[in-house]
Amino acid sequence: MANDRGNPAGRIDMCDSKELLVSFLYDEIDPVAKRNFQQHLATCVECRDELAELGATRAQIATWTPPDADLGFRIIREAESPKRRWFHWSPAWGFAAAAMLVVAASGAIANLHITYGSDGLTVRTGWNHAVDAQAGATNVDWKAKAQELDRRLVDLERAQSQQSVVRTASASDLSEQRVREIVGQSETRQQRMVSARLADMMREYDAQRRLDLVAIGQGMSRLQTSSGADLKQTRDLLQRYLVRTALEEKEEK
Amino acid sequence: MPSTDEELVARSMGGDLDSFNQLVLRWERPIYALAYRVIGREEDARDVAQETFLRAFRALKGFKGQAKFSSWLYRITLNLCRDWIRRERRTPLVQAPEGVDVIELAGEEAPSETVEELVSRHELGRAVAKAMSQLPEEQRTAIILKEYHGLTFQEIADLLDCPLSTVKTRLYQGLTVLRKQLREAGVESTFGK
C-alpha cells in the first residue's frame, strides 16, 4: 500500500491505498497527508463514494449495544488459608485404621499366618496347622525349637535336682507335662475365641441383611401405594371431567 | 476530583483494596461490553469480565505501567475471549431477543425518537450484531476496539501484537464486509447520514 502522505499527482496510488482511506476515515492521519487526500477526493468520485459508504457503515454499527448486565464486581480479600499439612485426617483414614485393627486383632486371635510365595497368597489360621502339609517346614522348625526348649528345661531341672536333695527325677517330667498342658490350653482358648468372633460376625451380617431386606420391602410397598394413589387421583379427575363434559353437552342441547 | 487510573493503580499496588475496586467500578462496563461483542454471549461475557478483574488483581504487582491500565485490562480480556473461543470451538453467537418490546424500548431511548425510529434502530442493532458475528475474529476484534472503545491504531496494534498496517487492513476489510452484509440484509445504507 502507498504511504500516508499520498501523491497528488498519482491518482492510482491514492485510490489503491486503503490504509490512507482508513486513516482519513478515522481521522488518524498527519496533516500533510490529510490535505493531499482531500485534494484527491475532490477529483475522485470512487474514493469519495467509498468513503461515504464506509462512514455510513460506521454509523450503522454504532447502534449495536450490549444488553444490560448486572455487574457490580467487587474484589474482596481472601481469608487466610490454613497451612497445608502433609497429613490430612479424614473419615476414610478412620475407617482404614479401624479395618486394620480388626484384621490385626482377628489375626492375633486366630493365629493367622499370611504368606505370599510362588503358590500365590496363602492364609492359614492356628487350628489347621496340623493338617497343613504346605507348612511342614515351619512345623519342623517349631518342633525343633520346642524340643530344644524342653531339653534346656530338662537340663536345668537336672542341675537343680543335683543341688537339691528333695527334688526327684520325676519333677522334670512333671514340668514338661505341665508346659505341654499350658500350650494345649492356650491353643484351645484361641480357637474358641476365634470361633466366637466368627459367629458374632456372621450374626451381625445376617441381622444387617435382614434389616436391608425389610427396608427394601417397605420401599417397594410405599412405591406401589404411591403409584396406586396417583392412578386413583388421575382416574377421579378423568371421571369428573367426563361428567362435566357430559353435563355441558346436555345443557347445550 | 476523581483519581486517575494511574493514581488508583499506585494505591492498589500499595495494598489499598478500595482503590482497586474503584478501578473495577470504572472499567467493568467497557470490559463486559468488549467481552460481549467478541464472544456474543451475555452470561459468558459476564464471566470473562469477572475473571479479567480477578486476574488483574492477582497480577497487579507485575503491572509495570508501560501501557495504560485500560489497555492492560483489554489485553487480559481479549486473551480470555480467545481462550473461550478456542475452548468452545465455535464462532460467536449473538443472543438477540426475537420480539421487540416497543414500550420497553421507548423507556430506554431518547424522547426525540419516534417509535418507528426506535424499532428501526433496534432491528439495525440486531442486524449489525449478526453481521459482526460472521466476521473473522481478527477483523471483528479490530473493529470492536476501534469503533466501540476508541483505541488508536497504535494501541490496537500493541494489543493484538501486529503491525500498524495490519490493523488498518483489518479495519478496511471488516468494514467492507459489514457494509456488504448489511446491504444484503436490507439495511438502508443512508442511515445516520
Q: Picking from A61-65, A165-169, A179-183, B65-69, which range would have the lowest pLDDT averaged per residue?
A: A165-169
Under DSSP, the state recorded for A43 is H
Distance CA A143, CA A147 (A): 6
**Three-state DSSP string of chain B:** CCCCHHHHHHHHHCCCHHHHHHHHHHHHHHHHHHHHHHHCCHHHHHHHHHHHHHHHHHCHHHCCCCCCHHHHHHHHHHHHHHHHHHHHCCCCCCCCCCCCCHHHHHHHCCCCCCHHHHHHHHHHHHHHHHHHHCCCHHHHHHHHHHHHCCCCHHHHHHHHCCCHHHHHHHHHHHHHHHHHHHHHCCCCCCCCC
What rounded mean pLDDT belongs to chain B? 85
d(CA B74, CA B40): 16
Choose, out of B108, B175, B188, B189, the residue to mutate when testing the contact with A (most A CBs < 10 Å). Answer: B175
The residue-averaged pLDDT of A209-213 equals 80
Chain A CB contacts of B191 under 8 Å are 56, 59-60
B46 and A71: CB-CB below 8 Å? Answer: yes
Q: Residue for cell digits 492510482?
A: A12
Q: Is the pLDDT of residue A189 over 80?
A: no
Which residues on neighbouring strands pair with residue A116, listed in sequence order?
A121
Average pLDDT over residues B105-117: 59
Does residue B112 surpass a pLDDT of 80? no
Taking contacts as CB-CB distances below 8 angstroms, the residues of chain A near B152 are 28
Residue A244 has pLDDT above 90, yes or no: no
A116 or A220: which carries more pLDDT confidence? Answer: A220
- HEC states along B14-40? CCCHHHHHHHHHHHHHHHHHHHHHHHC
- pLDDT mean over A161-176: 48
pLDDT in the model for residue A27: 96
Helix, strand, coil percentages (3-state) for chain A, rounded to 5, are 70, 5, 25
Whether the Cβ atoms of residue A22 and residue B176 lie closer than 8 Å to each other: no
- CA of A132: how far to CAs of A26, A80, A129, A139, A186, in Å? 97, 62, 5, 9, 20
pLDDT band for position A84 (cuts 50, 70, 90) = very low
Instruction: Kindly determine whether residue A61 and residue B37, on different chains, have CB atoms separated by under 8 Å.
Output: no
Mutate to test the interface with A, among B53, B168, B176, B188 (most CBs of A within 10 A): B168
pLDDT tens readout for residues A11-45: 557 788 899 999 999 999 999 999 999 999 999 99
Locate the chain B residue with the closest alpha carbon to A66: B33
- CB spacing of B147 vs A58 below 8 angstroms: yes
Question: How far is B75 from chain A, CA to nearest CA, in Å?
Answer: 19
pTM beyond 0.80: the answer is: no
Q: How far apart are CA A91 and CA B177, in angstroms?
A: 63
Kindly identify which residue of chain B lies nearest to residue A50, measuring between CA atoms: B176
pLDDT in tens, A86-143: 444 455 555 555 666 655 555 555 554 544 544 544 445 444 444 444 444 445 566 6
Which residues of chain A have a CB within 8 Å of the CB of B21? Answer: 74-75
Q: Is residue B188 predicted with pLDDT exceeding 50?
A: yes
Between residues B101 and B173, the one the model is more confident about? B173
Contact between B132 and B37 (Cβ < 8 Å):
yes
Best CA proximity match to A10, nearest among A40, A30, A31, A34: A40
pLDDT at A142: 63
Partners of A121 in the β-ladder: A116
- The ipTM of this complex is 0.82
Instruction: Tell me the pLDDT band of B25, cut-offs 50, 70 and 90.
Output: very high
Choose, out of A1, A3, A22, A58, the residue to mutate when testing the contact with B (most B CBs < 10 Å): A22
State the nearest Cα–Cα gap between B128 and chain A, in angstroms: 6
User: Are A56 and B42 in contact (CB < 8 Å)?
Assistant: no
CA distances from B95 to A105, A177, B24 (A): 67, 96, 25
Q: How confident is the model at residue B159 (pLDDT cuts 50, 70, 90)?
A: very high
The alpha carbon of A32 is separated from its chain's Cα centroid by a whole number of angstroms, namely 71
User: Who has greater pLDDT, B62 or B32?
Assistant: B32
Rounded average pLDDT over A183-198:
77
Q: Do A22 and B172 touch (CB under 8 A)?
A: yes
Proportion of chain A above pLDDT 70, given as a percent: 55
Tell me what the mean pLDDT of segment B141-150 comes to: 96
Q: For residue range B75-89, what is the model confidence (pLDDT) as tens digits? A: 999 999 999 988 886
Question: What is the predicted pLDDT for the residue at A88?
Answer: 46
